[in-house]
Amino acid sequence: MSSPKTNVILATGGTAMVRAAYSSSNPAIGVGPGNAPVFVDSSADIALAANQIVTSKSFDNSVLCTSESNLITLTDVDKPLRKSLKNEGAYICNNNEVVQIRNYLFHPNGFNVEALGRDAVWIARECGIRVPKKTRILVTPINSIGIEEPLAREKLCPVLSFYVANSPKQAIAQSRATLRATGAGHSAVIHSQNERMILDFASRVECYRVVVNASCSLGASGFNTNLAPSFTIGTGFYGRSSLGENLGPQHLIHWTQIAYNSDPSVAFGKFNELSLSLDGPLPRSPSDGVPGSPKSRRVDTTSTSTSFSIDNVNREELRKLIAEELKNVLKK
C-alpha cells in the first residue's frame, strides 16, 4: 500500500487494515465493519418484515457486511414475529442452544472463521443442534446488548440475535448500543408504518444508512433502495472513515476546474467553439457490458455531440450488471 505506484487505496474490512491504509502515506478511502440492528415496531407488517429479514439474512449465507445482525422488537410483537420468522424458515433456538451457538461462534481470540459464510444447517450441526433441513437462519434470543454479549456483535453467517424491548425508547437505545459495540456509522433497519417512529429511529442511531421496510443486505448496498449501488459502504466520522456514503465512481474521479475571477467586471472566456484533444487510448466498456476486456479504442474527445452525466446512467441496467458480475465471481 505504500508503493509510489499506488494512486488510491480502497480499504474495506477490519479496523487494523483500514488504519494501515490510512498510514500508508498514499490517498486512502477506508470503510469499517457492519453490525446492523433491525427494529420491528408495532405498526409494521409483521409477515412481510419476517420475510424480508430471513431472506436478507440468509442471502449468500450472510457474508455481506450489510446483513441484519441484531433483531430488536417489542413485547406485543414478540410472539407474532417469532411465528412469522418460523414460517419463513427460521429456527428459534432455546436457551441451551443459544449457549452452544455462542460458544461455537466466539472464542477468546474473536469470531470463529470456520463459520464464515456457512449455512444454518451446517452451523447447527457443528454446535450439536438438530434443525430441519430447510432451515434458512438460526435466531438466538438474548437478554442484553453490549460488550458482555458476544452474540450482539457482527456475525458473518446466518445467525441473528433476537432482543425484546419494553418500549420503543428502549428499542432505539438498544439499537444504538448495537452500533456502539461494533458497526458505528454503517447501517440500520426499521420496519414500521409510523413516520414519527421512523424519523425518531433514524435521528438517534449513529449510522449513515437507515433502510425502511426493505432488506438490509441489498437495501444498504443500493440494490432494492435508491442508494448508490455499492458494496463499499462508508462509515463516516462515526466509524472513523473518510467516506460517509456508498462509494461510487464520483469518489474516484477528480476534475480540473478553471476558476475565473468572481468580480463581474472580469469577462468570462468564450469556450463554446473550443475543445481538448486528450491522449489515449482510453478504455471503453465492451458492448456486452463485461469489464476486463483487453480491447480498447481511442476516445474522440474533440466531439461535442455527446457528453457523459451520471444522471444518464440507467440504474436498473447497472444493478443487473453488478449482480451478474457477482454471480460470475461466486461461480469461480
Q: Which residues are catalytic?
A: 65
Residue 14's CB is within 10 A of a number of other CB atoms, namely: 12
Strand pairing report for 137-141 and 90-92: parallel
Residue 166's CB is within 10 A of a number of other CB atoms, namely: 9
Q: Return d(Cα 89, Cα 30) in angstroms, integer.
A: 36
Task: Supply the angle between the helices 46-58 and 75-87 in degrees, to the nearest 10.
Answer: 60
Q: Return d(Cα 50, Cα 321) in angstroms, integer.
A: 29
Segment holding 22, helix H or strand E: helix 15-22
Strand pairing report for 110-111 and 188-191: unpaired
Contact 239, 186 (CB under 8 A): yes
Contact 223, 249 (CB under 8 A): no
